[in-house]
């Protein structure tokens, strides 16, 4: 197949996914990424072992070879505080996912030998819960009025799905009277985001992205070198609107142009840890490994990728699109794996050429 032969000419093999290995096969990235300000590391799923290991490896490379000191995760910012304190030696233990443990232990060791201004810092892209933020507000703002304290305690004692719009409006007003730091800004955005969906059944896919982009910019403004690594799902870091709303990556790409760079991941087949979708309006299942068979349709990018000479490889999209045949192939929308926390949807129709700068492809994956 001529397309596969053309892809074979530009791909580079992935020699290992071990984060503690040498960087021999990815050292070319030092020159390629030297002028970037934001490097987004996408993942095809939230539950794929190879994705996590390879992104761990890329983070170590970017930190140790290109001096990146800010890492921002698709996660709750409050939950990252303990982990940030841990990698900076301020506390001796912190709760962390086993999948992230090797990376955070490495970062702790890296920071130990660095001066204060050279240490890596961790942030979350959003605030996801009210209670942790309220606890922090009550402790750090002793001069709150009694009326505001009452509002905060009322929200804290009400389950998330029972909070109504009137309560949220009072809560938001109280939050605007707080010092406007990053945490409180994220909290107000969570209130605004949640407010939209009370009593509605509208899909929430994509609507967080504008807020996450704003938060990424706010975090970036705090950094001394104005550089950052973003760790998030492919759908969030993409430079196009994949779900009807602009992705976070689209906002960032519009602002930073070629200085925003997206390394997305892709898989053909294998086990992925997901929550199984049962039926509409039914509770989802527990987290479990689920097998996804290989792509057999030529409407999917993976159909071509799986026929390439390397089972696992790196595709520089810009280099590939210098070839006219590959430019057409990568520009024409096709199906691509796009699995999140749920078992569905599995694929999304998109243009790799428009959405991403590099693809890290694994022919077969395993569950975290």
Please report the pLDDT score of residue 204 as a whole number: 53
Tell whether the model's pLDDT for residue 203 goes beyond 70: no
Please report the pLDDT score of residue 128 as a whole number: 79
Please report the pLDDT score of residue 181 as a whole number: 86
Tell whether the model's pLDDT for residue 202 goes beyond 70: no
Tell whether the model's pLDDT for residue 108 goes beyond 70: yes
CA distance 99 to 101: 6
Please report the pLDDT score of residue 122 as a whole number: 97
Please report the pLDDT score of residue 278 as a whole number: 82
Tell whether the model's pLDDT for residue 65 goes beyond 70: yes
Is 237:247 a contact under the CB 8 Å cutoff?
yes
Please report the pLDDT score of residue 294 as a whole number: 98
Please report the pLDDT score of residue 172 as a whole number: 94
Average pLDDT, the chain: 92
Q: What percent of the chain has pLDDT over 70?
A: 97
Tell whether the model's pLDDT for residue 70 goes beyond 80: yes
In this prediction, residue 185 has a pLDDT band, given cuts at 50, 70 and 90, of confident
Please report the pLDDT score of residue 39 as a whole number: 98
Q: Which two tokens stand for residue 199?
A: 């009593």
DSSP codes joined into one string, 40-56: EE--S-SSBHHHHHHHH
Superfamily of domain 2-68+227-365, CATH level 4:
EreA-like (biosynthetic domain) (3.40.1660.10)
CA distance 316 to 313: 10
Task: Give the tens place of pLDDT for each residue, 313-347.
Answer: 999 999 999 999 999 999 999 999 999 899 999 99
Please report the pLDDT score of residue 200 as a whole number: 53
Mean pLDDT, rounded, for 106-121: 95
* Cα→Cα distances 26→17, 30, 31, 39, Å: 11, 8, 10, 15
In this prediction, residue 198 has a pLDDT band, given cuts at 50, 70 and 90, of low
Domain boundaries, given as residue ranges, for the chain = 2-68+227-365, 130-195
Mean pLDDT, rounded, for 255-266: 98
Tell whether the model's pLDDT for residue 199 goes beyond 60: no
Tell whether the model's pLDDT for residue 29 goes beyond 70: yes
Q: Which two tokens stand for residue 347?
A: 């694929």
């Amino acid at each position: 197949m001529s397309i596969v032969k053309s892809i074979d000419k530009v791909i580079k093999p992935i020699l290992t996914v071990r984060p503690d290995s040498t960087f021999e096969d990815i050292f070319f990235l030092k020159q390629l990424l030297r002028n970037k300000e934001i490097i987004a590391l996408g993942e095809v799923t939230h539950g794929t072992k190879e994705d996590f290991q390879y992104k761990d490896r890329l983070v170590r490379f970017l930190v140790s070879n290109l001096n990146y000191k800010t890492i921002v995760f698709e996660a709750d910012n409050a939950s990252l505080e303990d982990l940030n304190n841990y990698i900076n030696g301020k506390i001796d233990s912190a709760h962390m996912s086993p999948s992230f443990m090797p990376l955070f232990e490495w970062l702790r060791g890296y920071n130990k030998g660095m001066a204060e201004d050279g240490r890596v810092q961790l942030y979350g892209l959003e605030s996801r819960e009210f209670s942790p933020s309220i606890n922090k507000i009550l402790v750090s703002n002793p001069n709150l009025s009694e009326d505001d304290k009452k509002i905060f305690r009322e929200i804290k004692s009400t389950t998330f799905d029972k909070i109504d719009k009137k309560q949220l409006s009072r809560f938001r007003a109280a939050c605007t009277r707080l010092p406007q730091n990053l945490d409180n800004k994220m909290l107000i955005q969570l209130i605004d985001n949640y407010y939209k969906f009370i009593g509605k059944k509208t899909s929430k896919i994509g609507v967080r992205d504008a807020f996450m982009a704003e938060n990424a910019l706010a975090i970036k403004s705090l950094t001394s070198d104005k550089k950052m690594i973003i760790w998030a799902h492919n759908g969030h870091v993409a430079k196009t609107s994949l779900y009807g709303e602009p992705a976070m990556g689209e906002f960032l790409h519009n602002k930073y142009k070629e200085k925003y760079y997206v390394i997305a991941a892709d898989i053909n087949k294998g086990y992925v840890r997901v929550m199984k979708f049962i039926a509409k309006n039914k509770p989802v299942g527990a987290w479990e490994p689920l097998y996804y068979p290989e792509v057999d349709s030529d409407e999917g990018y993976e159909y071509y990728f799986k026929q390439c000479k390397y089972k696992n490889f790196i595709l520089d999209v810009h280099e590939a699109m210098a070839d006219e045949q590959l430019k057409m192939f990568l520009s024409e929308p096709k199906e691509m794996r796009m699995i999140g926390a749920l078992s569905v949807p599995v694929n999304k129709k998109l243009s790799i050429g428009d959405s991403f700068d590099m693809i890290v492809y694994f022919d077969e994956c395993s569950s975290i």
